[in-house]
Chains A and B, each alone.
Chain A
Amino acid sequence: MIFGYSLSDLWSIFVMQSFSGLSLFSVLLLMALGLTIIFGQMGVVNLAHGEFMAMGAYTVYLCSTIVQRHCPSLTPYYFLVAIVLAFCVCSLFGLLVEWSLIRFLYKRPLDSLLATWGLSLILQQSFRSIFGAREVTPVLPNWLMGAFNVTSTIQLPINGVFVMGLTLVLTLGIWFFLYHSRIGLNMRATVENRVMSGAAGINTKLVDRFTFSLGCGIAGVAGAAFTTIGSTGPDSGSRYIVDSFLVVVFGGMTRLVGTIVSAFGIAQGQSIAQFFMEGTMGKVMILLVVVVILMIRPKGLFASKIRS
């Protein structure tokens, strides 16, 4: 008997906490992916990234409200459309933000940090003014409710499975896109050597704009996925932003693998710790562990040795 639970109980707890940890992992991973793309590729720290996530969530909520008001019969089908819409809305808005603000801030990480914090304040207040200060939830389609009963003591919620599946698809998609497509190649080339890329005929400004809006679009999808596991309020974004950045920094920022492992570790750590310690203390412990590890190994888990 440990902590007053039997071994088999512990196992069930472990599996279920791991699973809820996986949902958190999905959100963190999606956020971190977007951030890595933006920071790792463009040297821009986007503290408003959380607000793009919230924007995706609010888009789904809006879709839900419209569907409920005008054609409730479409409820089972609207959700997937809403996710796509969330991506589009967020990437378009990202495009606007890049054009008006971000493009002046390349390679100025500290400045972009401050400016995007300002942006996040403005966005948060906009959400508050438009949607109200209370948290909202979209009406989820029936097929997302309920749980799989894997064994008698282990139940896996369907929405969690959905979120994970979505994350998997998206991560694979991004990896494929970055490493096996023409545009992805252009993006990576621009990051490596902007001047050369420009000389080779790549329109670096356009690539930057595209990169940023892609990052924001991914955040939008993260937000849409997030609506299945939690409610959305004006400051939902800021709740995850520090964690997401820690995931990015912890993962080493150079390889996708690093980000994935890092997000997994941090999410699972938090989830399991939160079961055994009261609410926030679990999170505190994990964050502390991450920060201490970062102090010992500042480049993160997977940084490679490059010649300066």
Chain B
Amino acid sequence: MQAKLSVVALSVAAALAMGACGKKEEPKPAAAPAAPAAAAPAQKPEIIVKLGHAAPMTGPQAHLGKDNENGAVLAIEELNAKGLEIGGAKIKFELLPEDDQADPKQGSIVAQKLVDAKVNGVIGHLNSGTTIPASKLYSDAGIPQISGSATNPKYTQQGFKTAFRVMANDVQQGKRLGEFAAKQGAKSVAIVDDRSAYGQGIADEFRKAAEAAGIKVVATEYTNDKATDFKAILTKIKSTKPDLIFFGGMDAQGGPMAKQMKDLGIKAKFLGGDGVCTPEFMKLGGVATEGQYCSLPGVPLEKLAKGPEFKDKFNKKFGVDIQLYAPYVYDAVMVMVDSMQRANSVEPGKYLPEVGKSKYDGVTGVIEFDEVGDVKGGAISMYRYKGGKLEYVETLGGGMMAAVKDAAQATGDSAKTAATAVADAGKDVAKEATKVGGEVKEAAKAGAEAVKGAVEKK
């Protein structure tokens, strides 16, 4: 933990230091990419591209915030290792991590801070409640924003050209959850939400879908995103005898809630959205979570072509498991940088139109945006908690699944074998070295491709 913290401290310090000295201007187009291969790297202008990242790094959701940041850090390190060139200049990406404390007020404060720091783009925020007010500031400043985890539909419905997300929104998720509840044979449900933009949003959508499916909503109760005691509301719910309790909120509340349900002798099933679909939920809820269901937007990592590889990289780098949104945040960074490459510019105004046209084959699937900035398709996968692990049940709806299916089948097997090989080699230093060599090679290849792409565009 201490090691991890010092890494954080270092990266923060580094970001600050870079922020202070990294105010280089956009290179003149005159520094032409005429002969990129011939020019010595020392002569090339190096520009620092600052990407803001905002998530709660303190408070009850700090573990999720750290997870998001790790996703972004991983993406940025890989990009820097590739040594990208955009607009003829060598690009060095810098992450400006901010702590929004999952608080809408603080979210706007750090958003303003990022705008003032003239970041080239923003990844985040984590929560819908912070993302929505912050998106106005980014929109006013013309800074593209891609959230990997804000799922409240409002975020992209405000008409901001700068707002994007790479995760299915709550309308899609709540709807699928409602249908799933009906499929499970629930006749009556109780709904609890944590009054956050996310929790309330997904609970409302769930209610609509559940009622449409003929399920009776027998109780509606509320808590908050800092609570640990739910016995009072659960006792009340118990008296209405629902078949299922739906919780719109995060794992830090969901886990204890499931446990307290058990303490009170409530037999109803527990169902939740992506906020409780985490290892943390099972750790906190213990045996009470066994056999309960939750949903995640997208397709499970291990079912995706690049999923196992990403998981392996992540575990190796940070020594912790992926909590939740890290792959999405990773993809958000990649999509943003991909747009910069296609626009051949890191200037927000110039590459923004390219973001909407993205068709990026990322870890979480092929990412394409619709006209408002929501990810197209948007499959929802159901999971069951079993023996301390999330067990994949099924994927409901979404064109995303179809889009990645072929790719997954084609490369899935080879990726899987590669991943196992890498995992086996985990402790073997010699093999590790070869792997690093391979990575460098890969990076070089990707870099070459990028240059080729840029040239072709010209």
Asked if A pairs with B, the answer is: no
**Residue ranges of B at the interface with A (Cβ–Cβ < 8 Å):** none
